Amino acid sequence: MKLTPKEEERLTVFTAAEVARRRKERGVLLSHPETVAYISDWCIERAREGQSVAEIRSGATGLLGREDVMEGVPEMVDMIQVEPMFPDGTKLVTVHDPIRADSVGSEDGAGDDTNTDGDGGEGDAE
């Protein structure tokens, strides 16, 4: 089997992401490379499904919380960039601060940055 360099890179990301998924399922904290691969693979697959860049960016920030990764990883991963293939071509997807302190982490990545404490915001009283 002959693969292009881009196909080899995609296979490497998938393999690392698969290891990360299995470790996460067992409750093992993810390392820096596993975290990047996990989020990158998720973004690539959503692009192939036809989601927009904005939808991918929003969903990617809810995949992992601090409780899912090793100490120090959130500080090392301040941005992830991937160039997945969309139905209309390749586009750059940039995910800023992909590991949120307030994110719960979800298997399907449906999380977002909304406040979930019930009252809608703490900044009302100054």
For 101-120, the pLDDT digits (tens) are 765 555 444 333 333 344 44
Q: What are phi and psi of 83, to 5 degrees?
A: -120, 75
| pLDDT tens digits along 8-42 | 999 999 999 999 999 999 999 999 999 999 999 99
- List beta partners, residue 90: 85
| pLDDT tens digits along 73-88 | 999 999 999 999 999 9
What domains lie within the chain, and their CATH numbers? 5-100 (3.30.280.10)
CA 38 to CA 42: how far, in whole Å?
6
Predicted structure pTM score: 0.79
Integer-rounded Cα Rg, in Å, for the chain is 16
CA 21 to CA 14: how far, in whole Å?
10
Query: Tokens 């307030």 — which residue?
Result: 102
